[in-house]
Amino acid sequence: MLSTEEIIQIAESLLSERFGGQQEITETEQLSGSGTATVLRARVAPSPFLQQRSIILKCIPETGERLDDAALVREVVSYQFTTSLPEEVRPGPMLLAHDITRRILVITDSGDGDTFADLLTTTSGETRIQILRNLGQALGRMHAGTADREEDFDILMARMLRTHPETSDVNRLRDRALVFSIQVGLELLRDADFEIPQVVLNLAKEAERRLLTGHHRAFTPFDLSPDNIIVAERTHFLDYEWAGFRDVSFDIASVVAGFPQFLFSRPITDDEADVFIDAWVREVSTRWPNTKIEEELNLRVTAALIGWLLESISLMRFGSLTNTVFALRDSGLAPELTEGIRVPESAPELKEGEGLGDILRRASEGPFTQDELLVRQDLYETAEALSRFAERSKDTQLEIVAKFASEIAERVAVREA
């Protein structure tokens, strides 16, 4: 792990190489959040080629998880892509410099705005409604403004993988793992004695397909987390470890579900979800007119909600994407997962405390650890949001989805003793 002084020295060198002169970084302060990463806000003297006065330095240490560590390549490419966009479309900070080998990013400062997590926790009523309306507008502008730029992103990614070929196979594996973790989630539900209706299986298959292809594709951070959404003069999205071009329904479903894998004391209500979706539709309907067809949009969002629920079950059960990948490979469910990709011969051992065992067991089969209770609460919120959303649809087949999701929510509901 690099020290703060080392990070500053490397960043000064990177900025000097990129913008000329001898860049000097001063007035650094450490920011919270971003997991194990060291994040610093600093000042730099403006120059004709570097107009910014305040910048962010981010150093992301290796975790030893190959699939996690390879995410830095995707994050850099995503920042390169978004930096090239017009300002009115750009979803977040601009990339000023980077060093993948030393795992350092230098980006522009989004300012001192509140996180979306804080705003949703501390506000209520019409204020919360307006916050979600603004989020729908921001996502819609990003989606509509990037929908025809996938080739640009692919060119940047191909160029980066040629420079860092050792990450090529792992990045391809990460993309496939997202798809196949849906299958793992289905198997875990079967193992927990759930009977899965055919309509749920069909929509899960549709979610898999839309992760890889589809008509409504645009740039998306995908793993939306409210503590990585900054609301200042504009709404900015941070952290692009999973960013790329996918069906935008997954972003919409993530918000409707109350952000899977992020616990809220006050989840998104039905009225708030409707306001958010309406604001998003107004931004994207010119590009995708069929988003104004309510029944069709509901089906797309429901499929994405099912995808989120199944992926969450997989990742929470096994503790990491790497463990999920090997669990799937060893199960024989998806032999195409590693086809044409070099991966280690054996799966890593599941360490003590890593992964959560049978998180879908009945309440009578407790007791549960504190971690299990938190995971079950998160799954409850996702399943319950899916049930409510499907139940409100006019499509009769979604009534079956609503009932099935309600059964999962009932299974994992955390009740006071």
* Cis previous bond, 335, omega within 30: no
pLDDT along the chain (417 residues), means of 10: 90 90 88 79 80 88 80 94 93 94 93 86 89 94 96 96 86 80 90 95 96 91 89 86 94 94 82 97 97 95 97 84 69 60 45 57 87 91 96 90 97 77
One-letter amino acid of 36: T
114-412 is classed CATH 3.90.1200: yes
Q: Using alpha carbons only, how large is the chain's radius of gyration in Å?
A: 22
- 3-class state of residue 242 by DSSP: coil
pLDDT at 350: 39
Say if residues 366 and 360 touch (Cβ distance below 8 Å): no
pLDDT at 112: 78
Q: Any idea where the domains of the chain sit in the sequence?
A: 4-108, 114-412
DSSP-H helix ranges across 34-115: 66-69, 71-83
pLDDT at 354: 40
pLDDT at 316: 85
One-letter amino acid of 215: H
One-letter amino acid of 142: M
Strand partners, 95: 107
pLDDT at 267: 84
pLDDT at 42: 92
Query: How many residues are there in the chain?
Result: 417
pLDDT at 416: 58
Helix (H) or strand (E) holding 27: strand 25-31
Backbone angles phi, psi at 114, to 5 degrees: -80, 150
pLDDT at 344: 46
pLDDT at 349: 44
4-108 is classed CATH 3.30.200.20: yes
pLDDT at 94: 93
